[in-house]
Structure 1
Amino acid sequence: MILYFILGVFPAFLLPIYGHHCGKLRESQLYNRKEITAPDEYTWIGRVGYVYGNRTEFSCFSVLIHRRYAIINAFCILDNLASFIVFGDWRENKDITVGDCLVEGITAQCSPPPQRVDIEELVVHPGYNRLDDYNFGLAKLVENVIFSDFVQPLCLPPAGETESNHIAQRLEMAGFRRPLRKGDTVDKEGEWRRKVQVHTASMEFCRSLGGNNWPNRTQHHICALGKEENTLYFGSPLMGIEVVDGKPRNFYLVGLPGSVELLGHPSNLSMLLFTSIFPFRNWIVKNMELDYN
């Protein structure tokens, strides 16, 4: 596996990352107030597999944006041990070869076996310096992911988006709950892919809450507050909704979480710092070798 930078500009047919063929949204699922997702909901989450000798760990997540590419936090790929990504995994457990079933009362929902796809190459944004700015990169997969009701890509931000659109909003995140403190374990309910809300805030307000160890915030960051128990693994996307003709049409990627700080608040709040994706949309597209064979 090679860590490298692609500098060329490639022609691109952009429907898989903009528009109708990404960010699948079913409006009824927006309002059901369930934290555990349906198996066909937020289908772009990928679990990144790291191979250490004879053991495999999953400590980061990625976001599928094209049948051949996923976005991932930069610090999740710099050690070059990210070997593969699992898409369509509804439950976070060791067995990635079988589907999962969730029984609620007398009904059951099931997902098919997930797809494991090896990583061919990795690219980190050249501005990343391990200080949380430019904290993202791309994973190119060795083969195309097979799209289905359970595996589909997320859209990149629409062209009319601006960086200030997401201040003081409640936005969706999706992923898997992670332990907050050393020694904590995730309960069985926390193993399922879940959706949570965070409330974005101005940088001025976040500066008033953050401690001395909070990383430097730049114009590329989005800050948000959420409940401690809803903190998800790195790589879990922050998402907005594109509205067309008065109807929510699709989800799109707003940011990737890079840091989290527990505030010790009576309401058990945590503060999250996201890398905003909108400023880097063109860089992402230029660094993808789009092929439709």
Structure 2
Amino acid sequence: MRLSNRGKSTQFSTLQWPFFFAFVAALFSTATAQARCNNPNRKIGYCVSIYECPSLIEVVRRYDLAPRDREFLQKSQCTNGYGQSPYVCCTPDKGFTSSNDGSNPMPVTSTTTTRRPSIVKPPSPSNGKGNVLPVPPACGPNSLDNKIYNGKDTPLDQYPWMVLLEYTQKNGKPILNCGGSLINQRYVLTAGHCVVGAIETEVGPLSTIHLGEYDISTEIDCIQEDCNKEVVKLGYEQVIPHPQYQPNNNNRHHDIALIRMAEDVTYTDFIRPVCLPMASSRQAINVGELLTVAGWGRTLLARQSNVKQELAVPVVDHDECARKFSSRNVNLITSQLCAGGEFSKDSCDGDSGGPLMRQSDRNRWYLEGVVSFGNRCGLEGWPAVYTRVADYVDWIEQTLRP
């Protein structure tokens, strides 16, 4: 039985398994309403899509949503509204007030965006913050949709730090193969095997970083009437694998790398950095704890999912995992983290370099692992192996430059 390197079709590549979802119930119940409604302040408004209510969209997009704000949003819900759900009773109000004067809502405007072709740009000067790692609330935001409801589809702005890496094949055609995570305006964190080694000879050289992607099969990504902004495609200045990473070693120790992009990224609702487990904020990772892995999950031969997907995977005891992989002549070290091991639920080919994440009690997302490799995909009792990010924060900080 051969090991599977999750980012390329090599002697380690194997069959791919899809993600299985675990969805949660809605955060709140809704109140019966018609086209006209009363908001929590008893002001008369119209029942419309949250995306067409400028006053409440402004509330939703706040970095730190206070409990009182969340309560106002929940109590603003209505049914039988116009446009895409969730529906809210729209007025100029942005929170609870003592007023009840029955004022009319703000004019409703559409926020749908049309995507234009992206252009790969040459290197440009940095804003001087390339060596700065963001901390909450400037990183790891929750999805805008998750503040209102939990639906059956991954929201367009879910995990806005996730990137896709594009390579140029020998025939000159582009191919998307690995993932990564945006960690600040200039750098992406990915797996070492996504930038050096067999991927260069068997797939092709890295060419472009895609940011803000959701559905790779469409030019414009929309859920009903809500569309995200255009995908940003950037070149890169430098790839920096960890100095101790050995591309030809099956142990995959230190399988982590930085990519310095050709220019600074402008943050949007769909492009934003993830938080790193800094020494001042990191927490122990406990056996059995559920972490979240996300990606597009595909191989070079078949695309299993065009849409960004997520999966909760349990952390596995390191010693137990090490014994398991030793039977395949793979020696794991403590800077490698094991998670998963459930049948058909796994990260897989095409997910390499992508994030293994934890959500904090303040609803901020932290990057705990980078998808590295596994023994095939989705095999019962065989967890996937991730590079433990906390063990490399010092190297990351020392390597970043303005």
Fold-level similarity (TM above 0.5): yes
Deviation at 1:62, TM superposition (A): 1.1
- SS for the counterpart of 1:126 is coil
Look up the match of 1:231.
Answer: 347
Look up the match of 1:260.
Answer: 374
Partner AA of 1:250 in structure 2: R
- Deviation track 1:29-74 (CA, whole Å, cap 9, x = no partner) reads 3996657421111001111010124201111111100111001111
Kept in 2, the 8 Å contact 1:236–1:257? The answer is: yes
Provide the C-alpha distance between the structure 2 equivalents of 1:223 and 1:151, rounded to a whole number of angstroms.
28
Counterpart check, 1:217 vs 2:217: no
Look up the match of 2:365.
Answer: 251
Residue 153 and residue 237 in structure 1: after superposition, are their counterparts in 2 closer, same or farther (change >3 A)?
same
Counterpart check, 1:275 vs 2:387: yes
Look up the match of 1:200.
Answer: 315
Look up the match of 1:6.
Answer: none
Kept in 2, the 8 Å contact 1:224–1:271? The answer is: yes
Partner AA of 1:82 in structure 2: L
What are the ranges of 5 or more consecutive residues in structure 2 without an aligned counterpart? 1-127
- SS for the counterpart of 2:394 is helix
- Deviation track 1:156-207 (CA, whole Å, cap 9, x = no partner) reads 113245674243200111211224xx86x335xx210011111111022324
Which stretch of the first structure deviates more once superposed, 206-215 or 70-79? 206-215
Partner residue of 1:138 out of 258, 270, 277:
258
Kept in 1, the 8 Å contact 2:372–2:386? The answer is: yes
- Deviation track 1:4-40 (CA, whole Å, cap 9, x = no partner) reads xxxxxx99874x5322111112497399665742111
Look up the match of 1:172.
Answer: 292
Kept in 1, the 8 Å contact 2:316–2:383? The answer is: no
Provide the C-alpha distance between the structure 1 equivalents of 2:378 and 2:330, rounded to a whole number of angstroms.
18
- Structure exhibiting the larger radius of gyration computed from Cα positions: 2
Counterpart check, 1:101 vs 2:202: no
Provide the C-alpha distance between the structure 1 equivalents of 2:356 and 2:148, rounded to a whole number of angstroms.
18
Partner AA of 1:231 in structure 2: S
The count of aligned residue pairs is: 262
Partner residue of 2:246 out of 114, 118, 129:
129
Look up the match of 2:279.
Answer: 159
- SS for the counterpart of 1:25 is coil
Provide the C-alpha distance between the structure 2 equivalents of 1:186 and 1:206, rounded to a whole number of angstroms.
29
Provide the C-alpha distance between the structure 2 equivalents of 1:18 and 1:48, rounded to a whole number of angstroms.
25
Partner AA of 2:260 in structure 1: K
Residue 27 and residue 158 in structure 1: after superposition, are their counterparts in 2 closer, same or farther (change >3 A)?
farther
Query: How large is the RMSD of aligned CA atoms in angstroms?
Result: 2.9
Kept in 2, the 8 Å contact 1:36–1:193? The answer is: no
- SS for the counterpart of 2:285 is helix
Kept in 2, the 8 Å contact 1:263–1:269? The answer is: no
Provide the C-alpha distance between the structure 1 equivalents of 2:152 and 2:321, rounded to a whole number of angstroms.
26
Provide the C-alpha distance between the structure 2 equivalents of 1:35 and 1:222, rounded to a whole number of angstroms.
29
Q: Which has the higher strand share?
A: 1
- Deviation track 1:203-248 (CA, whole Å, cap 9, x = no partner) reads 22324544732631101011011452542411120011233xxxx2
Partner AA of 2:314 in structure 1: H
Partner AA of 1:200 in structure 2: V
Look up the match of 1:67.
Answer: 185
Counterpart check, 1:92 vs 2:216: yes
Provide the C-alpha distance between the structure 2 equivalents of 1:195 and 1:204, rounded to a whole number of angstroms.
26
- SS for the counterpart of 1:228 is coil
Which stretch of the first structure deviates more once superposed, 37-46 or 48-57? 48-57
Kept in 1, the 8 Å contact 2:178–2:353? The answer is: yes
Kept in 2, the 8 Å contact 1:214–1:261? The answer is: no
TM-score, with length taken from structure 1: 0.79
Residue 31 and residue 113 in structure 1: after superposition, are their counterparts in 2 closer, same or farther (change >3 A)?
closer
Partner residue of 1:58 out of 176, 180, 188:
176
Look up the match of 1:191.
Answer: 306
Partner AA of 1:100 in structure 2: D
Deviation at 1:81, TM superposition (A): 1.0
Kept in 1, the 8 Å contact 2:162–2:354? The answer is: yes
Kept in 2, the 8 Å contact 1:177–1:186? The answer is: yes
Provide the C-alpha distance between the structure 2 equivalents of 1:124 and 1:13, rounded to a whole number of angstroms.
17
Kept in 2, the 8 Å contact 1:35–1:195? The answer is: no
Extract structure 1 runs of 4+ deviating beyond 3 A: 10-14, 30-36, 160-164, 207-211, 262-265
Provide the C-alpha distance between the structure 2 equivalents of 1:230 and 1:118, rounded to a whole number of angstroms.
30
Look up the match of 2:166.
Answer: 49
Provide the C-alpha distance between the structure 1 equivalents of 2:187 and 2:260, rounded to a whole number of angstroms.
5
Deviation at 1:249, TM superposition (A): 3.5
Provide the C-alpha distance between the structure 2 equivalents of 1:194 and 1:263, rounded to a whole number of angstroms.
16
- SS for the counterpart of 1:206 is helix
